[in-house]
Structure formats: structure tokens, C-alpha cells
A = this chain, B = another copy of it.
Amino acid sequence: MKLRCSQKNLASSINIVQKAVSMKTTLPILKGILFETCGQTLKLVGTDLEIGVEHHINAEVLSQGAVVISSRLLGDIIRKLPEADVEIEVDALNNMTIRCENSEFTLVGQPAIEFPELPLVEEDHAYEIPQDLLKNMIRQTVFATALDETRPILTGVLMEMQEGVINMVALDGYRLSLRQGNIKTSYSNRAVVPGKTLNEIYRILSEGEDGKVEISFTDKHVLFQTASTKIISRLLEGEFINYRQIIPKEFKSRVKVKTKDLLDSIERASLLAREGKNNLIKFSIKDEFMTITSNAEIGRVFENLRIELEGDDIDIGFNSKYFLDALKILDSEEIYLNFTTNVSPCIVKPTDTNNYTYLVLPVRLAG
């Protein structure tokens, strides 16, 4: 194997496939990146057996071949090389020599044959989605997945495709985040994609590729594919909660408030809420004002916000974290907060679009 490519392309490619490489693995070969020539392109692959990432770059391939090289060391080396052409040569004993201007590295590699193959996902029934939309949908849902593994299905995001619409839903028992988007499709499908996979996809898409993503499913796997990158992940098994029946349709109070003002106030109130138990903050909504209060042994806080209220006054308590998470990912200037009673869920919605719904359960107030 012998090839030449640009340091910049190689460094960025390693960056991408490294997102699937885990340093904690007990299988030494998985700490490596597979290098494999395919005609005049170089394919790099990293995997932790849960997620696999495959990325292609242009290269001047002088002789074909494949090898597995330590991901961490190789990444550090390529990043430190000058922006110039890099020459890579692998001998029969899997030793890789890297030459770039005045530097020459020789690294001991492993046989490519020992590297696991990524699962095969056919691309016949692919859903096509713009990258920006997919990134936004991930950002607005994945934060609401459960972090603990007691109910594994809740660590994933449900993706539901039907009649030109894609829904992504995450919930963790305390809150639910639902984002709707439009896609071109005639196939229906639903699958639960691990939150970790979506986080990695978000980071890979943020590396700067534009364009569209094609998403394909098998029973057990999902494939996300851009022009130069394939991300393959296992799906979560099990039945996702019927989320539609959780979301109330009617309300007794509707508050309209500026997103940024509410975020700032809750951030300040949470400084005291974190000193006590439960991150408890209390909303008191009455006429044109909403006050947010929190008490701790070391002090108390009182925030006063101007709002527009339709319906009844209400006093209700929340874990400030669950509100902050949602307020940080909402893009609209103003939002609605919909309440029924102080023991039933609050629904947060942007005022300028109907594509997002957040549900958060209240904390029962003493007395």
C-alpha cells in the first residue's frame, strides 16, 4: 500500500472516524483505524461495534492495500504535521511509514483482516433529509433522552417516518421533546436510534459538510450517509412508549413570554435552586406577571417577568434543569407555556411554528 494525500483532508477524516473509536474497549484492534485503498480513494473506518463510521478522501494511490493503525497516536501525528502532502507507505509486516516535508514516522500496525466488518445496510429505501434539518431535529430532542440505563429504550430517540413527515421523540420519564419535520418519502417506518449515535452524527455533520443525508434502516441497524461519510449504528430493541397519549390537548392557562427573558430568569433562580433539593423553582402566574422564586438555607431569589396570560392564575413548581434544557434549544423569540393544574404537565411551544412540543412534569409543592 502506497499513497499520497493532503494533510488537511487526512486530519479531518481521522477526526471524523475517531468519533466511533473508544479508548475503553477491551478489544485492542478497535483502538485502531482501518486504512484501506479503494481505487483512487482512501477509506478510513472506526468502530466500537455499536457505531461504525466510514469516511472517504481523495488520494493518489500508487499501490492498493489495507492496515489498522493506532487511532490516538496517528491522529495526534497527522494533526501536528504541516499543511502539505503526506506520503503513506505500508510494508508487508503492516508497518506504516508517514513522510511529510522534513518528518518521517514509522508506526507498527495490525493486519486489516482482524478488523470487524461493518454491518451491511441496503440503501434501496432511503429517506432523504437536509443536513441542517437533521441537525436541528437532533439538537431539539436528544437532550431529553434518559441518561441511566434502567430502561434502555429511553436512552434513544424514536424516529417515525410517515406520509412526508418525520417525527423525532425523546422522553425520560420527567419530560418529553417532540420535533416534527418534512421529508420526501412514501415508506413508513419507526425505529429507536441510540442517543449516543445521534450525538456523534450531530458532531460529524458539524464538521462542515453541506447537502443532504440519506437514512436507511434494517431491522437491527440504521445507516446515515452523506457524500463522503457513512455512519452505521445498531438500533435499540423494544417498544417505545405511545407518546401521543401523554400529551394533553386542552389547557386552562396559556402564558406568552419572551424565551430569552424566561431563560435568564430561570438561570438566575437555579443558582439558589441548586443549593436546595430537587432544583425546585416555583412559578406564580397572575395577571400580567409571572414570578419565579427559589429558596435555600443560604438565601432566596425573586424574579419578576412580564407576560401575557389567557385563562386562570396558577402556582406551580418545577425542576429548573428540565426547563433550562428546553429553553436553550428553542429558536423562537417567544413561547407559549400551557398549564391545566399544578399537578399536570406543562406544554411548551414556540409561538411562530407548530413543529416543536416540549412536555415537562411539575414538582408537587408542599402545603
A95 to B73, CA, bound (A): 56
The docked-state distance in angstroms from the alpha carbon of A268 to that of B105 is 9
If A102-B305, A103-B265, A304-B102 touch, does A108 touch B299 (CB 8 Å cutoff)?
yes
| A77: B residues at CB distance < 8 A | 268, 271
A271–B107 Cα gap in the complex (Å)? 12
Number of A positions contacting B (CB below 8 A): 31
Contacting residues, chain B, for A39 (C-beta < 8 A):
none
Nearest CB to that of A299 among chain B residues?
B107
Does residue A272 face the partner (Cβ distance < 8 Å to B)? yes
What residues of B have a CB within 8 angstroms of the CB of A215 in the complex? none
CB of A300 within 8 A of CB of B105, answer: yes
Contact B108 A298 (CB under 8 A): yes
Residue of B nearest to A293 (CB): B104
Interface contact A264-B301, CB-CB below 8 Å: no
Check if B73 sits within 8 Å of A103, measured CB to CB.
no
Q: Which of A275, A299, A300, A305 has the most CB of B within 10 A?
A: A299
Which B residues touch A206, using CB under 8 A?
A: none
CB neighbours (8 Å) of A187 from chain B are none
What are the residues of chain B within 8 A of A297 when measuring CB–CB? 108
The interface bits of chain A over 3-14 (1 if a CB of B lies within 8 angstroms of the residue's CB, else 0) are 000000000000
Which residue of chain B lies nearest to A104 when distances are taken between CB atoms in the complex?
B302
- A300–B98 Cα distance when bound, in Å, is 11
1/0 per residue, CB under 8 A from B, across A95-131: the answer is 1000000111111100000000000000000000000
Min CB gap A330→B, angstroms: 19
Whether B102 and A299, one on each chain, are in contact in the complex, defined by CB atoms closer than 8 angstroms, is no
Is A303 a contact of B267 with CB atoms below 8 Å? Answer: no
Contact B105 A301 (CB under 8 A): yes
- Asked whether A81 lies within 8 Å of B275 as measured between CB atoms, the reply is no
Inside 8 A of A76's CB, which chain B residues have their CB? 271
Q: Which residues of B contact A268 (CB under 8 A)?
A: 77, 80-81, 103, 105
- B264→A298 contact, CB < 8 A: no
Further contacts, 19 of them, CB under 8 A, given A80-B271, A81-B268, A108-B298: A73-B271, A73-B272, A73-B299, A76-B271, A77-B268, A77-B271, A80-B264, A80-B267, A82-B264, A102-B265, A102-B304, A103-B265, A103-B268, A103-B301, A104-B302, A105-B268, A105-B272, A105-B299, A105-B300
For this complex, 26 residue pairs linking A to B, each with C-beta atoms less than 8 Å apart, are A73-B271, A73-B298, A76-B271, A77-B268, A77-B271, A80-B268, A80-B271, A81-B268, A82-B264, A102-B265, A102-B305, A103-B265, A103-B268, A103-B302, A103-B304, A104-B301, A104-B302, A104-B304, A105-B268, A105-B299, A105-B300, A106-B299, A106-B300, A107-B299, A108-B298, A108-B299
